[in-house]
């Protein structure tokens, strides 16, 4: 299904409540299943979190997580330690093309029983849950931080905990730090020196009510809207100036793109500021790769160039996001080059009219391109894909006077 989107006034004033962070929610759901019932407030309403929550409660042998990559990784670790439970963990066609060998090898070396149903190194997986002791392992840290977090989350229930030596520079480091913070918040003893992580087996888990901060990656699209508007003031809730989420680096990046961030009473106010834009911005996004699409599209809309590095993890997401970005920006008239881990966008924005943006089953492709409709009307294919992380996205854009026609 397609959607047409445009904006007449180029003025965006409004107040929105954003759902809880998908990253925080998913970690807390695993901890809740492992230890005890506790209340989670402002839980994410994303498809990914709903799928994970449903899977954790399911008694079925076959668990299908569809496109939910975090659920695949976290559940692989979770079911491996669930004594007496055997499951087949599977997903969409794309999920069965996304590698998981590094995580599976690590769990097997710790004592888990996991087998590949089809292709070696890829889902679906047959997991025979059992008690195992844990111990010391080495893990390549530059592929996905979710492999690391999946292991850390189950470490407290293993007899010997886990001592994890990270090989190479960790990618998306703030998300490893988020996992460690949440574990410590529940009384788990942790150690991390940048290269080695140690999680002690937990004796007594502290129950605590958890309030999830709203999702910063969802906020990224409103940063882009403010940057591309003639006049904008958007209030978002609930956000903290000091956040666990790596994507909160947005507030610093978009300061150079004409967006001022003001924090007050757990709300984030985004205001348009008139500035002299740089000709090009250079960013290493290895700690926050999920905001790369939004930044690239914003820069094209503003007519400035960007050199984005540290994007190697985008190759194994819902689609190859670098290839998808290159194709769709070129449709609009952009001059862009990509490598295995970087994107170079030349200054200029000679917008082509009547463009139809393909989304490649990727929620972030749909949402990152939507703000560009402030500059040129667009058609977005398969617009419902946004439900993966932000089901109310199109409704919220209507509140900001975007004109949306669904068909």
Q: How far apart, in whole angstroms, are the C-alpha atoms of residue 90 and residue 358?
A: 26
115-162 residue pLDDT tens: 999 999 999 999 999 999 999 999 998 888 999 999 999 999 999 999
Q: Between helices 216-228 and 292-302, what is the axis angle to 10°?
A: 0
Cβ contact 184:190 at 8 Å: yes
pTM for this model (two decimals)? 0.88
> What mean pLDDT is predicted for residues 217-228?
98
54-90 residue pLDDT tens: 999 999 999 999 988 999 999 999 999 999 999 999 9
24-60 residue pLDDT tens: 999 999 999 998 778 899 999 999 999 999 999 999 9
User: Residues near 392 by Cβ (< 8 Å), separated by ≥ 6?
Assistant: 19, 45
So what's the pLDDT on residue 315? 81
Measured distance between the N- and C-terminal CA atoms of the chain, rounded to whole angstroms = 6
324-371 residue pLDDT tens: 999 999 999 999 999 999 999 999 988 999 899 999 999 999 999 999
Catalytic (active site) residue 290 = yes
Residue 289 pLDDT > 70:
yes
Instruction: Give the model's confidence band at 203: pLDDT under 50 very low, under 70 low, under 90 confident, else very high.
Output: low
- String of b and e for 259-281 (b: at least 16 CB within 10 Å)? bebeeeeeebbbebeeeeeeeeb
So what's the pLDDT on residue 205? 73
Is residue 333 classed as helix, strand or coil in its secondary structure?
coil
228-284 residue pLDDT tens: 999 999 999 999 999 999 999 999 999 999 999 999 999 999 999 999 999 999 999
Containing H/E element for 406? strand 403-406
So what's the pLDDT on residue 362? 92
Nearest to 67 by CA among 49, 31, 92, 87: 92
Please identify which of the residues 290, 362, 382, 396 carries the catalytic annotation.
290
CB atoms near residue 16 (< 10 Å): 18
Q: How far apart, in whole angstroms, are the C-alpha atoms of residue 277 and residue 381?
A: 31
pLDDT, averaged across the chain: 94
- Can you list the domains of the chain with their CATH numbers? 2-20+213-406 (3.65.10.10), 22-210 (3.65.10.10)
So what's the pLDDT on residue 206? 74
């Amino acid at each position: 299904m397609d959607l047409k989107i445009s904006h007449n006034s180029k003025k965006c004033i409004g107040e929105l409540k954003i759902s809880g962070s998908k990253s925080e929610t998913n970690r807390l759901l695993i901890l809740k299943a492992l230890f005890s019932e506790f209340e989670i407030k402002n839980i994410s309403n994303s498809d990914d979190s709903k799928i994970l929550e449903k899977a954790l409660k399911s008694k079925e042998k076959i668990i299908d997580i569809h496109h939910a990559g975090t659920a695949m990784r976290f559940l692989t670790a979770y079911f491996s330690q669930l004594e007496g439970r055997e499951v087949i963990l599977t997903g969409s066609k794309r999920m069965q093309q996304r590698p998981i060998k590094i995580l599976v090898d690590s769990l097997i070396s710790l004592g888990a029983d996991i087998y590949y149903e089809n292709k070696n190194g890829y889902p679906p997986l047959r997991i025979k849950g059992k008690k195992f002791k844990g111990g010391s392992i080495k893990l390549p840290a530059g592929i996905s931080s979710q492999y690391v977090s999946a292991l850390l989350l189950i470490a407290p229930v293993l007899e010997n905990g886990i001592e994890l030596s990270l090989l190479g520079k960790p990618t998306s480091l703030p998300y490893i730090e988020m996992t460690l913070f949440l574990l410590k918040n529940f009384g788990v003893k942790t150690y991390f020196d940048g290269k080695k992580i140690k999680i002690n087996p937990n004796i007594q888990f502290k129950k605590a009510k958890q309030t999830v901060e709203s999702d910063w990656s969802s906020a990224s699209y409103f940063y882009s809207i403010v940057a591309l508007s003639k006049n904008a003031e958007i209030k978002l809730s609930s956000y903290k100036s000091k956040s666990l989420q790596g994507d909160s680096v947005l507030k610093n990046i978009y300061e150079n793109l004409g967006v001022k961030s003001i924090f007050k009473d757990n709300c984030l106010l985004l205001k348009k500021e008139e500035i002299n834009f740089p000709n090009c911005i250079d960013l290493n996004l290895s700690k926050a790769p999920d905001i790369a699409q939004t930044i690239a599209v914003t820069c094209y809309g503003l007519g400035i160039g960007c050199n984005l590095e540290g994007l190697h993890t985008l190759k194994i997401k819902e689609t190859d996001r670098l290839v998808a970005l290159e194709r769709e920006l070129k449709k609009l008239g952009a001059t862009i080059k990509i490598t295995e881990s970087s994107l170079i966008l030349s200054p200029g924005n000679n917008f082509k009219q009547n463009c139809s943006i393909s989304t490649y089953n990727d929620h972030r492709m749909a949402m990152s391109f939507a703000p560009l409709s402030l500059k040129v009307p667009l058609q977005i294919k398969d617009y419902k894909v946004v439900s993966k992380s932000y089901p109310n996205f199109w409704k919220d854009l209507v509140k900001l006077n975007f004109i949306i026609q669904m068909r």
